[in-house]
Amino acid sequence: MQLDFNKYQGTGNDFIVIDNRNNQVQLTQDQIAHLCHRRFGIGADGLMLLNLQEGFDFEMKYYNSDGAEGSMCGNGGRCLTQFARDAGILNSHYSFIASDGTHEAIIEKTGWVKLKMSDVQSVQEQDGAFILNTGSPHYIQPVTHLNELDVFLEGQKIRYNAQFKNEGINVNFVEQQPNGSLMVRTYERGVEDETYSCGTGVTAAALSNKNAVIGFNTVSIVTKGGALTVEFEKKDHQHYQNIWLCGPATFVFKGTIAL
């Protein structure tokens, strides 16, 4: 089987993207894991299918790099929107469906892609950390000296502790910067390692930021892979809406691989 694919990345969070509008692509978990493998396949944090869906511009089907179907991926949604534009779906405003429901997306003149995330209705505080779901479940741990932290080791401890090991959780370590921005590093479940960026993770970090005010907020985020911005409206300490994840979504290369 010859499979045509595209490679995209959003602040270093990289994805294999496949146009499946003809509904002909059927991949097993092992095949997806092989394609995402950085030594024996193409290499990626995840794989996405662009599917047709009545009433929407497209459907986003997302798989983690272990081959299992994943929850919402923010950077993935931004990259898939850019791929939709590149593949000929030419709109100024996009509407698509993903695992956590309907999303809107806009490609700005600057080239950045803005993705509207799901509203958040609950933020749990636990021993100085925060737990919330921004389309995927996230654990937010404020830290200092983030650049010196072993994110793989410390993230793995939390992801596989008694509370989270069954369902898994994404673990984000967040450091407040002097200029008001946040530095975020993330251990992602499904990848089971640190990634260069996590869209739902930086969204969760922005929402739980102690400096967020009631009303409209814009938070600048620094990740290993580059800069992102999260815009949102804070209703109170539990409720957030009009959440937009903003950043670059870049085509890397395309090719054909034998399976």
What pairs with residue 184 in β-bridges? 174
**Which secondary structure element, helix H or strand E, spans residue 253, and what is its range?**
strand 250-258
246 annotated active-site = no
Both tokens of residue 32?
């997806």
Whether the CA torsion 10, 71, 105, 171 is positive or negative: it is: negative
73 annotated active-site = yes
DSSP per residue, 21-71:
TTS-----HHHHHHHH-TTTSS--SEEEEEE--TTSSEEEEEEETTSSB--
Which of 36, 79, 198, 246 is flagged as catalytic? 198
Which of 36, 73, 79, 246 is flagged as catalytic? 73
Whether the CA torsion 36, 42, 47, 49 is positive or negative: it is: negative
Judging by beta carbons within 10 Å of its beta carbon (0-12, 13-18, 19+), is residue 179 exposed, middle or buried? exposed
Q: How far apart are CA 51 and CA 162, in angstroms?
A: 37
Any idea which residues carry the catalytic annotation?
73, 198
